[in-house]
Amino acid sequence: MKLVCRCDAGLPPLDAVGGPYVLGSARLGCGPDESPPADSPRQMITAPLLGSAHAVAQEVWLTDEACRAGEFAGIRFRRNAHVLFGVLEIDEQAFADGPSGQPLQQAAAEAYRRIFRLLDAEGLPQLWRAWNYLADINQVTNGLERYRQFNIGRHDAFLAVNRAAVGNVPAACAIGLRRGALSIAFLAGRTPAQPLENPRQISAYHYPVDYGPRSPTFSRALLVALPGQESLFISGTASIVGHRTVHVGDIGGQCREALNNIAAVVGEANRLSSGVAYSPAELSYRVYLRQADDFPIARAVLDDAVGKAGGIVFVEADICRSDLLVEIEATAVHSLPIA
Ligand code: 3EB
């Protein structure tokens, strides 16, 4: 079984790639009125690309075993015997402000409860990776930042279905867009993954309450074993040491610190993986920048550290702490010798 992610800038005939081997996709830089395809889950990310000759980029998850499509509680998904990719959008306006929390908190809780119900029903219960996008992530309503509202809902959902909210939790990112419903894409499978933490950082699920009443529910990275293959999913990574933001106001410093953190996580991957070592130069990166003006410096730092060859997509979007200017996520796939 193989799982690969193909990223193409521009408008390639990716629907031509289509067919049974597509698990799902993400489209970055699309307009708010574009619709996803009917037969395949696709996360529509309306954040502008930066420094790209093309308006949109598309990441397609492909496998070498035929997939089938399904729909469950508003979740569009495709799966084969080993993996499942799904996309869910929930409009928080469907929830009333009330004792069970503000609308975004309720939407997040409902979204994750549905995801867990789907995964249990499909017999692919391990949530490996989640991509979370929400509007106005740093906006404060009724005294609480929206990212923190999201964290309460997400955390509650894990506990509601008796899932651990520490330790074996998915790799993730949580990113702010200008508008739109809460959008969650996810990759799940049959077997538990190996979670990785970063020795330079406190685990996010142990952040002190200064960062919100409920800690964020994600691992710094996950190693996922599939037959003949191992994948490394590195969560959104920022300029945080311990639990504190460092290099406030300094985009170059934040980019270098985020890359130091990624290097530390890669070190952990290499300590715990039994396969061939990972290197930062081989990773595929998604770089979120709060300010488009920061692109030239971010590009230069990334090129310097990673090399130009690797796939790097730069996106203008908000980060979950208002003092963070950049967040970087990364992925790699290794073939393993078949035992
Ligand atoms: C951080 O390290 C930066 O809430 O799912 C990174 C990755 C961050 C995932 C999430 C948040 C999340 O705390 C923010």
205-235 residue pLDDT tens: 999 999 999 999 999 999 999 988 999 999 9
Q: Residues 71-92: what's their mean pLDDT? A: 97
What confidence tier does 12 reach under pLDDT thresholds 50, 70, 90? very low
Amino acid at 273: S
Q: Give 53's pLDDT tier (boundaries 50, 70, 90).
A: confident
Ligand 1 atom nearest to 130, measured from its CA: 5
Predicted confidence (pLDDT) at residue 121 exceeds the cutoff of 60? yes
Q: Are 227 and 81 in contact (CB under 8 A)?
A: no
Average pLDDT, the chain: 93
Cα angle, residue 238 at apex, residues 208 and 189 outer, rounded to 5°: 85
- The pLDDT, as a whole number, for residue 13 is 46
Residue 327 known to be catalytic: yes
* Ligand 1 atom with minimal separation from the 207 CA: 13
Residues 160, 174: Cα–Cα separation, whole Å: 21
Average pLDDT value for residue range 222-249:
96
Selecting among 59, 145, 316, 327, the annotated active-site residue is: 327
Q: How far is the CA of 236 from the centre of ligand 1 (A)?
A: 6
Q: Is the pLDDT of residue 120 over 50?
A: yes
Provide the b/e sequence for 215-253 (b: ≥16 CB within 10 Å): bbbbbbbbbbbbeebbbbbbbbbbbbeeeebebeeebeb
What pLDDT, on a 0 to 100 scale, did the predictor assign at position 11?
43
Residue 339 has pLDDT above 50, yes or no: no
Whole-prediction pTM: 0.96
Give yes or no for residue 336 having a pLDDT over 90: no
**pLDDT score recorded for residue 338:** 52
| Lining residues, ligand 1, CB within 6 Å | 132, 172-174, 204, 216, 218, 235-236, 238, 240, 320, 327
CA–centroid distance, residue 174 to ligand 1 (Å): 6
The sheet that has 75-79: what strands, in order across it? 68-72, 75-79, 83-90, 182-189, 126-135, 171-177
Mean pLDDT, residues 317-338 taken together: 91
- The C-alpha atoms of residue 310 and residue 25 are separated, in whole angstroms, by 20
Is the pLDDT reported for residue 15 higher than 80? no
DSSP collapsed to 3 states, the chain = CCEEEEEEECCCCHHHHCHHHEEEEEEECCCCCCCCCCCCCEEEECCCECCCCCCCEEEEEEECCCCEEEEECCEEEEECCCEEEEEEEECHHHCCCECCECHHHHHHHHHHHHHHHHHHHHCCCEEEEEEEEEECCCCEECCEEHHHHHHHHHHHHHHHCCCCCCCCCCEEEEEEECCCCEEEEEEEECCCCEEECCCCECCHHHCCHHHCCCCCCCECEEEEEECCEEEEEEEEECCEEECEECCCCCHHHHHHHHHHHHHHHHHHHHHHCCCCCCCHHHCEEEEEECCHHHHHHHHHHHHHHHCCCCCEEEEECECCCCCCCEEEEEEEEEECCCC
Question: Mean pLDDT throughout 242-269?
Answer: 98
What gap in Å lies between CA 217 and CA 240, rounded to an integer?
A: 16
Mutate to test the pocket of ligand 1, among 184, 217, 320 (most ligand atoms within 8 A of CB): 320
The widest CA-to-CA distance across the chain, in whole angstroms, is: 56
Q: For residues 239 and 247, is the Cβ–Cβ distance under 8 A?
A: yes
Kindly give the number of the ligand 1 atom that is closest to the alpha carbon of 216: 4
pLDDT confidence band for 327 (50 / 70 / 90): very high
Task: Give the sheet arrangement for strand 312-316, strand by strand.
Answer: 194-196, 221-226, 229-237, 326-335, 284-289, 312-316
Digit-coded pLDDT (tens) for 151-200: 999 999 999 999 999 999 999 999 999 999 999 999 999 999 999 999 99
Q: Is the pLDDT of residue 272 over 80?
A: yes
Q: If you measure from the C-alpha of residue 337 to the centroid of ligand 1, how many angstroms do you get, rounded to a whole number?
A: 33
Tell me the C-alpha distance between 238 and 83, whole Å. 28
pLDDT value of residue 263: 98
